[in-house]
A and B are shown apart, each in its own frame.
Chain A
Amino acid sequence: MTDIVKVEKLSKRYGKFVALSDVSFSLPHGKIIGLIGPNGAGKTSLLKILSGLIPASGGEVSICGANLAENPMLAREKISFMAEDNPLPDHMRVGEYLRFRAALKGIRDVRLSVEKVMRKCDIYHGTRYKMIKNLSKGYGQRIGIADALLGDSALVILDEPTIGLDPKQIISIRQTLLELRGTRTLLISSHILAELETICDYFVIINCGEIIVTGSLADIYKSKINSDTMHVDLVPNCLSDADISKFLLENQLTRLDAISSQNHGNLRIEFKGDGRCMDKIIKSAADNFGEYLLGVGREPSSLEEVFLSATRRYSD
């Protein structure tokens, strides 16, 4: 599998503030990649550097083998970028704007390319002659996505593409993006994790300017992030606090990490942990609680839980 984007030891500083520090990763061809991180994590800086909008303070980025710093024009030809605020000129009509963008991107058959993306984004019939200023936010997003899909850029960067769209439009845009799988690399930054979980093959989680984890959802689950919810069910009122504390201590947990609750009359101790350590926990629970142990379980985490766990750990 060829890598479309290679980022090595990338850093970005704004004065004394370090937005990105030693960021390295690569993005495979034809995949839909989700870029996740809390506000201020460095996502926008990373996207702006990848799109060639701002220079990096250090490190290297290459897009399809073209070094972004050494040959920015060549690299930019391989990138399409849709910014979060998706700026559009009010004074133009939809078709007129997309033709302008297509010409600016150096697309040869402007008319045909524009018609194709307008049909794909469902803005061909009834919308193409409308003034942009008269359109809703949702249509604005569609125009932004249509612009990003113009031409055959190898990397399409979309910052919050579904923000402001109604559920029907989200489904339609999701379908459009899924159709691009295998042909182009899509890097999508979004806070709607459930949406990303549905469409993305690969994830990059970033926090405080550092990459925490990259890989497929399965890779992330296999990583050392303690995001699985595990529980131990016990017979109520039979064990002392000391027994429970001993178990928690053995598993490097504190009282703060664990939540005790009643579950169908049983005492349940719930905590976040690494799913791969299940055997160890079962053995520890059996040793400590003996006959009072009713069961040990694990609930696989969602992307949201992985994200929360990962960013919490690094923020701490």
Chain B
Amino acid sequence: MRKFCTLLKYEVHKLLVSPSTYFIAAIFLATLAFAYLFTLREFVLSDQSFTFMHAFLRQSWVSPLLAIPLLTMRTFSEDYKMGLMQSIKTTAAGDFSIVGAKFLATYLFYAALWASSLLLVFLPVLPIPTILRDGSFLAICNLIGGYSYILLAGLFFTAMGIFFSSLTENQILSGILSFVAIFATFLSGPIFSSHTLSSDTFLDRAFIRPLNIFHQMDNACWGVFDTRIIILYTTLSVLFLAFTKVSLEKKFN
């Protein structure tokens, strides 16, 4: 545990002193701000069945799509290239500690980025406090459900990005791989759903619709959390972290 904490501290420090981290944070917040303005415009111009907060979180999927590959692409690839992984591997730190520390440091930073997005959410509240009384702007279930879902899905995306980074020394390649994988995950739901829109079989109800990320987000924003989704994302995250450990072992073989 002590070695894990040492590695975690090292990874967090590495993220904090790297200029690219701040560049990623800027991109993340810029895309969120854009999604915010876009949602605001749509919200004002047309009638919405969602609250503003709900609509905003639905639009904000571009931010993790860009931020996760950029954040994770360096984790292993850079250490492989610079030989730093070699020097860590010669100590008695286990592979689980190495993978876990990299994952947790990246995930904490990702969570911190989302936490900073709360500033955007509460920005209109400062000049117009009465806005909170109007149920069309924000419901507490949006805030708790939406952000909880974002953090849950973030576990899976981060684990996936870390895994792709462990495959290659090439940061660009690992970034592209994780971007494609996350993009495919986002797209797969709507694509499958569009094929099964007219049908209402058990397969559609049990598997295809629950796997649609936008459907999951909608449910979460209404305060409905499907336990299957929690199990799915947690399992997938653990699976990808296990794959990363295997990949790390194979790299030094």
Contacts and interface: CB of A to CB of B under 8 A. Distances in A.
B86 A83 contact: yes
Interface string A185-198: 00000000000000
B90 A76 contact: yes
A15 B40 CA distance: 60
Interface in A48-104: 51-55, 73-74, 76-77, 79-81, 83, 85, 87-89, 91-92, 100-101, 103-104
Nearest to B78: A89
Contacts of B253: 54-55
- For B9, B14, B83, the residue with the greatest tally of chain A CB atoms inside 10 Å of its CB is B83
The prevalent SS among residues of A at the interface is loop
B104 interface: no
Residue from A51, A81, A87, A105 with most neighbouring chain B CB atoms (10 Å):
A87
Nearest to A57: B253
Interface string B196-238: 0000000000000000000000000000000000000000000
Nearest to B83: A87
B92 interface: yes
Contacts of A236: none
16 contacts: A52-B90, A54-B252, A76-B92, A77-B92, A79-B90, A81-B90, A87-B86, A91-B17, A92-B13, A100-B6, A101-B91, A103-B3, A103-B6, A104-B6, A106-B3, A147-B87
Contact of B90 (A51, A74, A88): A51
A89 B92 contact: no
B112 interface: no
A53 B92 contact: no
A91 B91 contact: no
Nearest to A84: B83
Contact of B252 (A53, A83, A89): A53
A100 B252 contact: no
A44 to B, nearest CB: 11
A104 B87 CA distance: 11
Nearest to A151: B91
A53 B85 CA distance: 10
A104 B93 contact: yes
Q: Which 6 A-B pairs have the closest CB atoms?
A: A87-B83, A103-B6, A81-B90, A76-B92, A104-B91, A77-B92
Contacts of A74: 92
A53 B90 contact: yes
